[in-house]
Every structure is written in C-alpha cells, then in structure tokens.
Amino acid sequence: MKTRLSILILLGFLLIAVSGLAYANEHNDGGYSTIVDEAGNAVYLTGWQVRVGDQVLTENNRRYEVVRIEGNIAHAKLVGEVNLTMYDPNNQGILTRLQSFLQPSIAKAQGGGKVCIYHTHSDESYVPTDGKESILGAGGIYKVGDAFAAGLEKNGITAIHSQAKHDPHDDMSYERSRRTALDLVKKEQPDAIFDVHRDAVPPQVYSANIDGQNVSKVQLVVGKYGPSGKQIEDYALQIKAAADKQHPGLIKGIFFAKGGDYNQDIHPRSMLLEVGAHTNDRESAEKGVALFSDVIPTILGKSSAPTGTNAAGANNAAGYAGLGSAAGGASGATKSMGWILGILIVGAAAFLFLSTGSMKEAGAKLKNFASNEFANFFGPRKRRSADKDSRKSEKDDEKK
C-alpha cells in the first residue's frame, strides 16, 4: 500500500512538472525581457519571461530566435525576413490559389461572422487611467474588450464578450479560463476567439500615432507547444499581413512561445492579444483595439493564406524553417507523446526501485521479466512454426 502511494505521489510531481512547461510565464518582479540581436541592439521588448527557443517577429517582419539568456536580456539570432505577402488573402497569384485549392487550409468563416472575447487575466489594468496595474475582478482590460466588441459590431461581426473572472493572476489562470473558452466555443460556435490581455513594458514600446490617432499597438502571442501550433502560427501571420495593409504599424509584432499553449488548441482561429501595456492609458488601448477590429472581417471572410505544403513554401521564401517542418523540429503532439512516454518509463523505474529496494535487484527483476516474457511470446510462435513445417512434410510424403 505504501509503495503504491509513493508511486502515485511521484507521478503527481512529474505531471505537475510537465504541466508547468505548457506555459511561458510572465515576469512577476516588475521587469521585462529585452531581446537583442548579434550586435547587441534591442530588437524586441516584452513582459513575457523569455526562454531559449522562443521566437519573435518584429514590426518590420524580421524573425529572431532566442539562443541565450542573461538575466532579463535575451540574446537572439536572426532567422530571416518573412515575406508576409505569402499570407495576404487579397494578394495571391494564380499558382498560389491553385495550391490553396488543392491543399487543406484553415477553416473558413461560416455564416455572417461571430467572434468571442474573454480575458484570462481579468485583473489587468492601465495605471494612467485605472490608477493601478491590477484590480481583482474588475480590471480595465474588460473595457478594452468592450471597445473590441463595439468595433467588431461596427464592422458587421457579431461579438460575444465574456465577463467571466479568472482571478488570481497566476500560472493556473489559463486552466480556469480554459473552461470559459470551451463553453464559448461549444455554445456560440464562433468563427474566431480572442483572449485579450495587456503587456508590461515601458509606454513607448506600444505608443503610436496611426491614422491620426494616438493609440496603443497590439501584440499577437502564439503558443508553439500544442499540436495546433503550426495552424495558429499561420493564422497570426495572416492577421499581421492584413493589418499591415489596413493599418500599418498597428501590430507591434508576434511572440512565439516555445513552451506556450494558451488554450489555442480549442479553436483553429484562437489568438492571444496584448493591447498596450500597463504604462499606457486605457483610452489609447481602446482606440488601438478598435482599429484592430477593422482587420477581422478580412480574416474571417477571405482567409485563404496557404498552409501545409504551401506554408512550407512560404517559409522557404522567407528564408527560415517553419514550425512543423522537419527543419523546425518535432511538432507539439510528438513532444507531448515523448513526455508521456518519459513519465511512464520513469514511473516504471521508480516502481521497480521501490518494490525491490535497490537498483541492482530492480535490474535483475527487469532482466528476468524481459527474458521470461519474450520467451513466452516467441515460444508459441516457434512451436506453431514447427507444427506447420511438420504438416507440410507429411503432405509431401503423401504425394510421393
């Protein structure tokens, strides 16, 4: 009984450790990550706690991958310049359209268009307007969500804005908000779903004047951990391509979190938005997200950017190895299976150790198990083969 309890406790710790890898955490010390290129020039700032392997796409469409971390400084290498025209649904050639017809693509919008909005971090607020950066249960982020919903409605899209709370602001927030997202997708069957946040960096990082308005820019966040990572990545690139045409400069960039998921496996058009930072005033964030809403009808109505083989072609043209390709490494599903297999192996090893009391005895027990089981497995097969040969020999004798 004690042995079984010990195994369960060990497996519980292992599962907790693995689940902790599913999300890239934010800074909780008031700091932020500065990503620098090979020359030491700052190319990207974000409130996310950056890890080796994370990637970013800058406002001018240069893609970097983090290779080394020193405190809050992340050193990155240039992966390539991304040609977003390959993802622009309104700028495809005859060949691309033919390939899009032959290859599966991201699910296209059905009906008149419906979008759901929710907030995993329901406390997030804007200091200049709300007075502080966190207000439990009543964050200023809800008013930014209202502005997004109003902009969508103005553009002919039905908007469902969830008021669900997911406090406190911790690593389990995404587990709590997952129930909200699943419920929205099940009940509303939307064409897209957005988890709206705000970042935590200096105000100038997001401040911009677009179309004569002082607004806060928008950052897209893609989780590369889950099995839908490639699809969500293509979707984010489509959004930026459309936004760059309609409102140049509105999208600050895209953060690709290697260890992130962010419930984006729930829907093929699920996206996490960062609208401004806690240092920006909320009104500028509301204006920024209203401009962002102008892009959504294009994405929902004419989402035909290539995926699959086409996307690999787009990535090659951009000069980098795309997520999900052989050069891009194992997919999220493969990595997940690897973790599960690893847990089973470690659990089995722990069980043998605890039940025998020493590694030597555990090894002997494993060796004995393997030899006996394989002998039992192959023994009947050998006997069946011998019987078959004997019957064949008897038939040959009868013919003679």
Q: Model confidence over 48-65: pLDDT tens digits?
A: 999 999 999 999 999 999
pLDDT of residue 302: 38
117 sits in which H/E element: strand 114-118
Three-class SS of residue 261?
A: coil
Residue 311 binned pLDDT confidence (cut-offs 50, 70, 90): very low
pLDDT confidence tier of residue 152, bands split at 50, 70 and 90: very high
Task: Yes or no: say if 251 and 59 are a contact pair by the CB < 8 Å rule.
Answer: yes
Over residues 59-72, the mean pLDDT reads 97
Question: What would the two tokens of residue 66 be?
Answer: 């983090």
Lowest mean pLDDT among 172-176, 246-250, 336-340: 336-340
User: Comparing 14-18, 169-173, 315-319, 365-369, which segment has the lowest mean pLDDT?
Assistant: 315-319
Q: Is the pLDDT of residue 204 over 90?
A: yes
According to DSSP, the residues that pair with 215 across neighbouring strands are 208
**pLDDT for position 206:** 98
Report the pLDDT value the prediction gives residue 95, as an integer from 0 to 100: 38
Mean pLDDT of 165-172: 93
* pLDDT band of 261, cuts 50, 70, 90: confident
- What is the predicted pLDDT for the residue at 390? 57
pLDDT band of 371, cuts 50, 70, 90 = low
Residue 304 scores a pLDDT above 50: no
* Model pLDDT, residue 337: 46
Strand order, beta sheet including 270-277: 42-46, 33-36, 73-81, 62-70, 55-57, 251-257, 218-223, 270-277, 192-199, 114-118, 158-161
Q: What is the mean pLDDT of the chain?
A: 77
Instruction: Say which residue, 236 or 226, is predicted with more confidence.
Output: 236
Tokens of 168: 């406190």
Q: How confident is the model at residue 5 (pLDDT cuts 50, 70, 90)?
A: very low
| β-bridge pairing 62-70 and 55-57 | antiparallel
**Alpha helix stretches (DSSP H) within the chain:** 2-19, 94-102, 127-130, 141-154, 173-188, 229-246, 282-293, 296-301, 309-318, 332-356, 359-399
Task: Give yes or no for a cis peptide into 248 (omega within 30° of 0).
Answer: no
Q: Which class for 76: exposed (0-12), middle (13-18), buried (19 or more C-beta within 10 A)?
A: buried
Position with higher pLDDT, 280 vs 229: 280
Max mean pLDDT among 18-22, 121-125, 339-343 falls in 121-125
Cβ-contact 234, 310 below 8 angstroms? no
Question: In which band, very low, low, confident or very high, does the pLDDT at 364 lie, cut at 50, 70 and 90?
Answer: low
Q: How many CB atoms lie within 10 A of CB 231?
A: 24
Region 325-347 average pLDDT? 44
DSSP string, 187-256: HH--SEEEEEEEE-S-GGGTEEEETTEEEE-EEEEEE-SSTTHHHHHHHHHHHHHHHHHHSTT-EEEEEE
Distance CA 85, CA 170 (A): 38
Given a cut of 60, whether residue 353 has pLDDT beyond it is no
**Can you tell me the mean pLDDT for 227-252?**
94
pLDDT value of residue 259: 84
Query: Structural domains in the chain?
Result: 106-303 (3.40.630.40)
Averaged over 132-150, what is the pLDDT? 97
Residue in 34, 115, 28, 117 with CA at minimum distance from that of residue 71: 34
